[in-house]
Amino acid sequence: MGLTNMTKENFEVAVGDFYEMSGRLAEQYGLFWEKAVVQPTSGEDPAASVLSDFSAALQEVGSAMLDNPNKLIADQMDLMKQQQELYQNTVLRFLGQTPDPIIKPDPSDRRFKNEEWEENPVFDYIKQLYLIQGNFLMKMITDTDGLSDQTRQKVEYFVRQYINALAPTNFPTLNPAVIRKTLETGGSNLATGMDHLMEDMEGSVKGSLNIAMTDTSAFQVGRNIAVTPGKVVFQNDVMQLIQYTPSTDKVFKRPLLVIPPFINKYYILDLREDNSFLKWLVDQGHTVFCISWVNAGPELRDKGFDDFMLEGPIAAVDAIQKATGEKEVNAIGYCVGGTLLAATMAYLKKKRKAPIKSITFLNTLLDFSEPGEIGVFINETAISALERQMDLVGYYDGRQMAFSFSTLRENDLFWSFFVNNYLMGERPAAFDLLYWNTDSTNLPAAMHSFYLRNMYLYNKLIEPNGITLAGVPIDLSKISAPSYFISCAQDHIALWKGTYKGATVLGGQNRFVLGGSGHIAGIVNPPQKKKYGYWTNDALPGDADEWYQGASHNEGSWWVDWQEWILKQGGMEEVDARQPGSDALPAIEDAPGSYVQRRIAKVAK
């Protein structure tokens, strides 16, 4: 039933129920503000430093606008014209006419899917007025000349956050779905939503709101996610090494090491049986080993990037050699795991060692000159403040990163859950990918500081001898092992044109493939789903656009293309399947192991 069709009797009953809830709501809002105000901030907080940096960028934009006021005046006149036309159209709608809308939401914008936003003239007016004014604010930035790319990116991000925060869908008195729910429940949805908000605030790190995105009770690591059979066969301070149980009688001679990001848990590659990349690799005949990184606490504050290299990939290769008797391995690195893999390869090259014979990079940045939208958080002011905070506690709280990443896709990853959880008073459905997304990982202070400064801020990894690890200056151009790069066209975390630069830096025979979709879905793309497709080009010109112009589109999954590539790299003759837990490397515990079970709230206390 639409709001415009509600009967007088139903309305009066609903209003009566609503007033009965008002006392509880007032009490809950009092508790909320009490909770909020006891979280003081200061100029030392990273969030405050980021806002200070945004303020400077906004001042620069304001000065640039004054240098050319004619564009600003023209934009304002256009805004006034559209607003007047919208008002006239709304009057005509009340008179029974159906004029064409002045503006429509983007087809991908799911905020205005409720039919009332179009059928009810009042809500249609609110919707269009919001869209017109939001477009005006963004156009002001676009039309401003003389801005650096970094300043424009910061201001566009900040203004976008402001616009989307003020969407009428986020306010209980302006969202028709929330109004209807409030009238039907007598306001209990808002009271329940306040309970949800208080609960989420308890689990959030200071300076952010980590909204529940899924029903966490529906999942248990090792029970219904991360269930590919295997054993933990090695562990140290920073990682456990899982060897997976073979599913074929014969396996390839050369084992395979998978290095996931140390941001979040490894099981993004092992969510369910039907989309597990790790299980697929096992089923293809690979002897698969995967690193499961520690969820760091303050005791690991001094672990550096070189420690993660020595105790991560290098220790894993030594363990694999003991477990299998093989001297050569293939390796796959995902995101920052790939960055670590490249650094490891350069380090081993300087040490005149070559146990890793082929390398695969999944959405990996080596050249950080195009960091994507996360670049709005990368500056000396913000990093220095973050380092001061990490020095106090010994680690970077992964919930801070989760919140920052959610603001890069704020309507999908923040505001949609804000409306669902707090205004509608509901809890999100069970979704394994979002469970993984909220299962954050803390990062040791020393390692995270090194990574932010040397990669993102200074972009030293691509400089010959620009970085020294464990006393060894490294040079990526000296890496001679063949490499396979897979990036994703819609990735907003590791822009594909930025990852492409990495493929041109290494010295070996390198293949670049471009998948569809984004940072996660484009990688976790099993062949049986027949989704997205991928682009290939055997050439590797210096320019990404030139590569794309010569590329061919292929249906299906890049997994199949990678398997064909890896089979050509040598060491792929078949041997008897290897069971995890040899005499040389006994099993410690069943996969997925204990490190992955440690959730951040328990670590952070």
- Residues tagged active-site: 335
Of 228, 245, 242, 233, nearest to 579 by C-alpha is 245
Of 566, 580, 558, nearest to 277 by C-alpha is 558
Q: What is the C-alpha to C-alpha distance for residues 365 and 322, in angstroms, rounded to an integer?
A: 31
Could you say which DSSP state residue 169 is in?
G
Q: What is the C-alpha to C-alpha distance for residues 227 and 118, in angstroms, rounded to an integer?
A: 46
Half-sphere CA count of 168, side-chain side, radius 13 A: 24
Q: What is the C-alpha to C-alpha distance for residues 177 and 67, in angstroms, rounded to an integer?
A: 45
Residues near 63 by beta carbon (within 8 Å), at least 6 away in sequence: none
- Measured CA distances, 157 to 60, 148, 361, 554 (Å): 15, 14, 29, 34
Residues near 73 by beta carbon (within 8 Å), at least 6 away in sequence: none
Q: What is the C-alpha to C-alpha distance for residues 557 and 568, in angstroms, rounded to an integer?
A: 19
Q: What is the C-alpha to C-alpha distance for residues 193 and 243, in angstroms, rounded to an integer?
A: 44
Residues near 398 by beta carbon (within 8 Å), at least 6 away in sequence: 263, 264, 295, 440, 441, 442, 443, 600
Q: What is the C-alpha to C-alpha distance for residues 455 and 580, in angstroms, rounded to an integer?
A: 36
Q: What is the C-alpha to C-alpha distance for residues 136 and 79, in angstroms, rounded to an integer?
A: 7
Measured on CA atoms in the order 72, 77, 83, 85, is the torsion positive or negative? negative
Write the secondary structure of 270-330 as one string of H (helix), E (strand) and C (coil): CCCCCCCHHHHHHHCCCCEEEEEECCCCHHHCCCCHHHHHHHHHHHHHHHHHHHHCCCCEE
End-to-end CA distance of the chain: 48
